[in-house]
Structure 1
Amino acid sequence: MEKFQRVVDFVKEQYPNKDFVSLHEPVFIGNERKYVLDAIDSTFVSSVGAYVNRFEEMMCEITGAKYAVAIVNGTNALHLGLLLADVEKDDEVLSQALTFIATANAISYIGATPVFIDVDKESLGMSPEALSNFLSANAELRIDGSYNKATGKRIAACVPMHTFGLPCKIDEIATICKQWKINLVEDAAESLGSYYKGKHTGVFGKVGIFSFNGNKTVTCGGGGALITDDEALAKRAKHLTTQAKVPHKWEFVHDEIGYNYRMPNLNAALACAQLEQLAMFIENKRMLAAKYCELFRELSILFINEPINAMANYWLNAILLKDRVERDEFLTYCNDSGVMTRPVWELMNRLPMFRHCQTDSLENSIWIADRLVNIPSGYRI
């Protein structure tokens, strides 16, 4: 237990004067209060307002995407992204078993079925090799796209995730998707401020999505965003997120089924203030990751560093213990000592609603799930 106590002591040194150190708390030290009060004074507190427009502009500036659409949360952004990628009922969508439930849920909203592909140990994100092997063994390429040979269903999209802000080999995944005529929807929910080979995450596919939930690097309570370089998709996204209402000064005409998915101006005001501090937040978090790396090297515990060719935001730092027994001992010791740690999410194919879904071997995913622990990763004031 000496090693565990060293981790507890180190974490408490980074976050002094706390009885309990959380995994990732929001920090409001910029213009948050000023902008929110300004939004209130403007009376534009719902889905129309200057801060919504500014938020979208800032997301384009940060990511390099041509267009951004403000969404009420990351899950809805992913649902919308799948719709824009032409995913339909009874289609199949390739994703990861090692992911947050929102990824699989958004696929299910459409009536499509997830298919779970293994991840790389280095990035915790979808493995291009596993993706290619699965398609070669299980899919056939037709004029109108790829189809699963066992089910006969169309494989409409692929949704890799940049787990904990660590970029996966997204360029290789994009190439494979193009070869197989599969639309790429990038789940960059956790990776705002992360780059792969000099490009921001979220810009490699048809669309990319982000989350601004309360525990993210940048938060506005809820909040999400969709980015794309396709003007027609961006316009359609805005149309669908506003109940598919045809623009008119007073008439209420809707030309298809739409959604109430626009981010409110109040949330956007908070988001703009947070985005102004993104570079500072990430620098602070990367410094913490470097300190963790040194500590765990001394303790002979594997700390998950950013992959080759990547610059990670280190949203949540993670370590890999020797087995599930040591993992559970570590979790118990830290949480009982006032330091929050948690295991990775339950693998999607082990949840009752997704047990019927097709998978590959998931060898790496299972190995990681038995060993991974997230440790406190918030901004240190």
Structure 2
Amino acid sequence: MSQIKIVEFVRNIYQTNDFIPLHKPTFDGNEQKYVLETIKSTFVSSVGKFVDEFESKIEAYTGTEKAVATVNGTAALHAALYMAGVKPGDFVMTQALTFVATCNALHHMGAVPIFVDVSSVSLGLCPKAMDEFLTENAELTETGCVHKKTQRPIRAAVPMHTFGHPVELDELMTVCLKWHITLVEDAAESLGSFYKGKHTGTFGDFGAISFNGNKIITTGGGGMVLCKTRDTGKQTKHITTTAKVPHPYEFYHDEAGFNYRMPNLNAALGCAQIEVLEQYLAQKRVLADNYKLFFESSDFQFVQEPEYAKSNYWLNAVICPTPDARDELLKLTNEAGVMTRPIWQLMHRLPMFKDAPRGDLAQSEYIEAHLVNLPSTPVLRAS
């Protein structure tokens, strides 16, 4: 299949000769109404009705016990790791094939990532690779799981649901239970994705969602911590609100907290966006089905949701037959005004994480060399 045919197909999908972005926000609901209401109320910062309402709507949609709104997805993951007990010097297991924000949150905690391979089924953290690394390099002690060589704790595991495709959660939870490791889900990309009927981000003790401008719904900038219990949710809200103890007028803070609360202005946008989330999910599924059909008889492999999951298909992706074919596709499409992107460079290739421990990353390296993301803005029309 020629790259020119791919450009023609994408342009036919979007019915335009203009520049086609990878994923742009869509505002066709109550966004202006709610944002204007917020401005008129003057409650544009972290206090206001839309913050509470947006948290309640996310709780109802995901089935989490408590959702806590934050300024962005990185802040949500940072708060989740803090609540999970990750401390400076701890090791945290994660995937090298992820967006840098996953590892930035670990870095800000003073923790060190251990990189293991991803699964070909999900493109996310591979439970088998994780267990094999632990079997070879870790041991259980009275204080929990420790790294044999350094005797430092391996405190948590952070799988990322790549492009919205849920990881193999049952198997990962089994490995975490076996090794006494806390599961914290990076669900930044997977709002609207379900693993065996249950929403992503609700399996671990904590999950983190992003509402960046390129996500399936957006608050401009924003995130959400999904908490497994009401008590941990209450404490998460407390520490993300500068740990201020409620009082009519006194300022007393009982621990060093974070100023991570989502502004009411952003939450107003989120409340409008979540009203049309189901519509966006349906449109994205139509788009994914069209891509799947288009690539079916080619030597390009469209990335599909795992059999056990229902994905939001946040970003559509294709595995190219060779690295050269990947490079050609990226060059031709971008020159033609159709935005495509490679997957992220593996985290251990970045200077700040180059010395982090890692296992064999063969699958991650293959995906890095072959995958291309395709335009994924939801559209009503099927080709």
TM-score range (shorter-chain normalised) is: over 0.9
Q: Distance in 1 between matches of 2:170 and 2:48?
A: 36
State the match for 2:188 in structure 1: 189
After TM superposition, give the deviation of residue 21 of structure 1 in Å.
0.6
State the match for 2:172 in structure 1: 173
State the match for 1:121 in structure 2: 120
Query: Do structure 1's residue 356 and structure 2's residue 346 form an aligned pair?
Result: no
State the match for 1:59 in structure 2: 58
> Could you tell me whether the CA contact under 8 Å between 2:299 and 2:321 is conserved in 1?
no
Query: Do structure 1's residue 11 and structure 2's residue 3 form an aligned pair?
Result: no
CA distances 1:294-316 after superposition (whole Å, capped 9, x unpaired): 10112231000001110000000
Query: Do structure 1's residue 289 and structure 2's residue 288 form an aligned pair?
Result: yes
State the match for 1:44 in structure 2: 43
Q: Distance in 1 between matches of 2:259 and 2:86?
A: 19
State the match for 2:76 in structure 1: 77
Q: Distance in 2 between matches of 1:214 and 1:159?
A: 23
State the match for 1:266 in structure 2: 265
Q: Distance in 1 between matches of 2:45 and 2:173?
A: 36
CA distances 1:218-267 after superposition (whole Å, capped 9, x unpaired): 00100000111212211111111111111111111111111110000000
| Identity within the alignment, % | 52
| Equivalenced residues, count | 380
Q: Distance in 2 between matches of 1:175 and 1:228?
A: 20
Q: Distance in 2 between matches of 1:122 and 1:323?
A: 19
> Could you tell me whether the CA contact under 8 Å between 2:216 and 2:280 is conserved in 1?
yes
CA distances 1:96-129 after superposition (whole Å, capped 9, x unpaired): 0000000000001011101101001121001111
Pairs within 5 Å for 1:187-226 = 187-226=186-225
* Structure 1 gaps, min length 5: none
Q: Distance in 2 between matches of 1:90 and 1:97?
A: 19
Query: Do structure 1's residue 162 and structure 2's residue 161 form an aligned pair?
Result: yes
State the match for 1:233 in structure 2: 232
State the match for 1:298 in structure 2: 297
Q: Distance in 1 between matches of 2:259 and 2:28?
A: 31
> Could you tell me whether the CA contact under 8 Å between 1:3 and 1:299 is conserved in 2?
no
* Structure 2 gaps, min length 5: none
Q: Distance in 1 between matches of 2:149 and 2:28?
A: 54
Q: Distance in 1 between matches of 2:259 and 2:164?
A: 28
Q: Which amino acid aligns with 1:345?
A: W
Query: Do structure 1's residue 338 and structure 2's residue 337 form an aligned pair?
Result: yes
Q: Distance in 2 between matches of 1:47 and 1:91?
A: 32
After TM superposition, give the deviation of residue 353 of structure 1 in Å.
0.5
Q: Which amino acid aligns with 1:54?
A: E
Q: Distance in 1 between matches of 2:143 and 2:42?
A: 49
Tell me the SS of whatever aligns to 1:175: helix
Q: Distance in 1 between matches of 2:139 and 2:16?
A: 59
After TM superposition, give the deviation of residue 18 of structure 1 in Å.
4.3
Query: Do structure 1's residue 316 and structure 2's residue 315 form an aligned pair?
Result: yes
Tell me the SS of whatever aligns to 1:75: helix
Farther-moved stretch of structure 1 (240-249 vs 80-89): 240-249
State the TM-score, normalizing by the size of structure 1: 0.98
Q: Distance in 1 between matches of 2:11 and 2:132?
A: 45
After TM superposition, give the deviation of residue 144 of structure 1 in Å.
2.1
State the TM-score, normalizing by the size of structure 2: 0.98
Runs of 4+ in 1 over 6 A off after TM superposition: none
> Could you tell me whether the CA contact under 8 Å between 2:65 and 2:233 is conserved in 1?
no
> Could you tell me whether the CA contact under 8 Å between 2:79 and 2:236 is conserved in 1?
yes
After TM superposition, give the deviation of residue 42 of structure 1 in Å.
1.4
Tell me the SS of whatever aligns to 1:298: coil
Q: Which amino acid aligns with 1:68?
A: A
State the match for 1:35 in structure 2: 34
Q: Distance in 1 between matches of 2:45 and 2:240?
A: 13
State the match for 1:108 in structure 2: 107
